[in-house]
Structure 1
Amino acid sequence: MKVTFKILRQNHNLDPYFQSYTLEVNQKNTILECLNRIKWEIDGSLTFRKNCRNTICGSCGMKINGRSALACKENVGQELSKISPTQDEKNPQIIISPLNNMPVIKDLVVNMNGFWNDLEKIEPYVSTKARNIPEKEFLQSPEERKLLEQTGNCILCGACYSECNAKEVNDHFTGPHALAKAYRMIDDSRDDYPAERLTKYNDIESGVWGCTRCYLCNEVCPMDVAPLDQITKIKGKILDRESRNSSTPVRHRKVLVDLVKAGGWVDERKFAVMVVGNYLRDLRGLLSLAPVGLKVLAAGKFPFSFEASEGVEEVRSLINSIQSVTQR
């Protein structure tokens, strides 16, 4: 069957443009095999990264039909099955472009310096405890090693980083790849400063609270590392050790649980004052609420009373049960 590959081409600092190449292919051909044929048989100037061809090295990350993926893992049949019904089935197209959130060097090759610099910020290596064993290995139990398996599967392909909405709008955010590695360091029995790591990852802009929870990192990860799940676990550990006064994000989550526990749902009269105003302690925070508060009052949307929801005792019981399990 004939398939047209529409590839976004670009040289550094020049306007990008699409160039189309039509190949006779088999549905089992991987996207990387098709790119190799285009380069070898049609246009030797086409530029992309590759190495292992077996979903191990992560080099061939790119966007395929708008989704960050590995070209060596995705095949023609899979991509054609995702094509919109409006597309001409007799002349199917597969659109390929470079990863997002990284500047393009040439064609499908991006500059990953920012990606690596963000990884370095979380110090992705075990600390001194593991380095001070003079005559033998630092042994781990099977249970301790098992905690590292999921995050240890990360091949740093950049797919999650490319899809990250938080990174797109906040350059200080370290990215899902780094924070997934961060959780591995917290759970590593050989590391001797998990408390200091949690303090570092508690940063509002660069740490876990910068995540928008869009779930795209989990969706595109080719190795099922589930970066969002790891970020959520770090948040849980931070919430367990930090008080309400430590930061606005921590207070936001603790107040939310407290209000739902008390009334079955959120009492909107109290929520912003308790979170942003830190229980009336933060004058600047309270003043920042004034413009919005006045608009809500003028629109007649401010609730002057609060009525607990039905089944509040059941809600409270569920929250208490969950909290008792997580605190064991």
Structure 2
Amino acid sequence: MEVIFKIIRQKPNSKPSVQDYLVETEPGNTILDCLNKIKWEQDGTLAFRKNCRNTICGSCALRINGRSALACKENVGSEIEFLKSSYENTATTNTYEGKPVLTVAPLGNMPVIKDLIVDMNPFWDNLEAVAPYVSTAGRQVPEREFLQTPSERALLDQTGNCIMCGACYSECNAREVNQNFVGPHALAKAYRMVADSRDNNTENRLENYNEDSKGVWGCTRCYNCNSVCPMDVAPLDQITKIKQEILERKQKSDGRSIRHRKVLIDLVKNGGWIDERKFGLQVVGNQFQDLNGLLSIAPLGLRMLKRGKFPLKFEPSEGTQQVRSLIEAVKKEES
């Protein structure tokens, strides 16, 4: 079968361009197979990373048809089917002159070095920022080796599968708008350290991960990282676990991010859904203790009043008792 590959090519400090290649291939061939075929048979200047070809090293991560993935894992047939399902309810198609069209681009949130190769230094720097290794005291050589129970070791299995491919970082909406956010890859590794029974620096770690929007509170919970992770590490799930560890140690007065989570749960527990009047006052205004916070939302409140969008009363939802019971059951299970 013949497939058209639209490859986004770029040099540093220049605008990207699209170059088309017609490739004779089979549905079972991987995207990496096709890139190799292009480089070996059509254009030796095409630049991309590769290594193991077995979904182990993570080197060949790219954006394929708009989402980050491993070129050695995704094949031509599955990508064509993915595009068919994406276009089936639209007027546009993913073909040109009857031939399937696949688009390949470099990873996002990282500067391009050349073509499909990106500079991953920010990615590694943000990983280093969370100190992703057992604490110094924990690394001191004991008289006998560190022993862990099977249950303690099992806590590390999922995050230990991360191959540092950069797919989650590439798709991270929070990283795109907030350059201080360390990224889902770093926080997934961070939870590995929190869960590691050999580490003795948990409290300091949690304080570090609780830092403004740099740490876990910078996550927008868009689920993009979970959806593209080729190893099912589920970075968002690990970020949520860190949040839970922090919340168990903090009070509402310890910061707006903490209040946001705790107040939301309390209001839903009491009324079945959020009383918006109380939410802003309690989270931003900290129960009238944060005057600067109150002043910051005053213009919004006035505009809402003017346009009749400010709720003057609150009606609890039906089934409030059931919602309350569910929240209590979850908390009991977690404890």
**Taking structure 1 as the reference length, what is the TM-score of the superposition?**
0.97
Counterpart for residue 8 of structure 1: 8
Identity among equivalent pairs (%): 63
Counterpart for residue 37 of structure 1: 37
The answer to whether structure 1 residue 114 and structure 2 residue 122 are counterparts is yes
Counterpart for residue 132 of structure 1: 140
Q: What letter matches 2:290 in structure 1?
A: D
**Tell me, which stretches of 5 or more residues in structure 1 are unaligned?**
none
Please report how far the alpha carbon of residue 243 of structure 1 lies from its aligned counterpart in structure 2 after TM superposition: 0.6
Query: Secondary structure of the residue that 2:252 maps to in structure 1?
Result: coil
Runs of at least 4 residues off by over 6 Å: none
The superposition leaves residues 213-246 of structure 1 with CA deviations (integer Å, 9 ceiling, x where unpaired) of 1101001000000001111111111111111011
8 Å CA contact 1:130–1:138 kept in 2: the answer is no
Aligned pairs (5 A) from 1:54-93: 54-83=54-83, 84-85=87-88, 86-88=93-95, 90-93=98-101
Counterpart for residue 277 of structure 2: 269
- For residues 4 and 68 of structure 2, the distance between their equivalents in structure 1, rounded to whole angstroms, comes to 19
Moved more, 298-307 or 113-122: 298-307
Moved more, 6-15 or 155-164: 6-15
Moved more, 135-144 or 55-64: 135-144
The answer to whether structure 1 residue 166 and structure 2 residue 174 are counterparts is yes
Counterpart for residue 279 of structure 1: 287
Q: What letter matches 2:45 in structure 1?
A: S
- For residues 220 and 330 of structure 2, the distance between their equivalents in structure 1, rounded to whole angstroms, comes to 24
Please report how far the alpha carbon of residue 301 of structure 1 lies from its aligned counterpart in structure 2 after TM superposition: 2.4
Counterpart for residue 149 of structure 1: 157
- For residues 77 and 241 of structure 2, the distance between their equivalents in structure 1, rounded to whole angstroms, comes to 36
Of residues 181, 186, 208 in structure 2, which corresponds to 1:200?
Answer: 208
Query: Secondary structure of the residue that 1:300 maps to in structure 2?
Result: coil
Query: Secondary structure of the residue that 2:131 maps to in structure 1?
Result: coil
Q: What letter matches 2:116 in structure 1?
A: L
The superposition leaves residues 1-44 of structure 1 with CA deviations (integer Å, 9 ceiling, x where unpaired) of 11111111111112211111111101111111111111111111
Moved more, 129-138 or 171-180: 129-138
Moved more, 233-242 or 217-226: 233-242
The superposition leaves residues 122-173 of structure 1 with CA deviations (integer Å, 9 ceiling, x where unpaired) of 0000003432233332121111111000000000000000000000000000
Count matched residues: 327
The RMSD of aligned alpha carbons is: 1.2
Counterpart for residue 185 of structure 2: 177
Query: Secondary structure of the residue that 1:229 maps to in structure 2?
Result: helix
**Tell me, which stretches of 5 or more residues in structure 2 are unaligned?**
none
Q: What letter matches 2:94 in structure 1?
A: Q
Query: Secondary structure of the residue that 2:302 maps to in structure 1?
Result: helix
Counterpart for residue 228 of structure 2: 220
- For residues 219 and 194 of structure 1, the distance between their equivalents in structure 2, rounded to whole angstroms, comes to 29
Of residues 123, 132, 138 in structure 1, which corresponds to 2:131?
Answer: 123
Of residues 172, 191, 196 in structure 1, which corresponds to 2:199?
Answer: 191
8 Å CA contact 1:129–1:190 kept in 2: the answer is no
Please report how far the alpha carbon of residue 291 of structure 1 lies from its aligned counterpart in structure 2 after TM superposition: 0.4
Please report how far the alpha carbon of residue 310 of structure 1 lies from its aligned counterpart in structure 2 after TM superposition: 2.2
8 Å CA contact 1:61–1:99 kept in 2: the answer is yes
- For residues 171 and 12 of structure 2, the distance between their equivalents in structure 1, rounded to whole angstroms, comes to 21
Q: What letter matches 1:10 in structure 2?
A: Q
Query: Secondary structure of the residue that 1:279 maps to in structure 2?
Result: coil
- For residues 119 and 23 of structure 2, the distance between their equivalents in structure 1, rounded to whole angstroms, comes to 29
Q: What letter matches 2:74 in structure 1?
A: E
Query: Secondary structure of the residue that 1:6 maps to in structure 2?
Result: strand
Query: Secondary structure of the residue that 2:3 maps to in structure 1?
Result: strand
Query: Secondary structure of the residue that 1:92 maps to in structure 2?
Result: strand
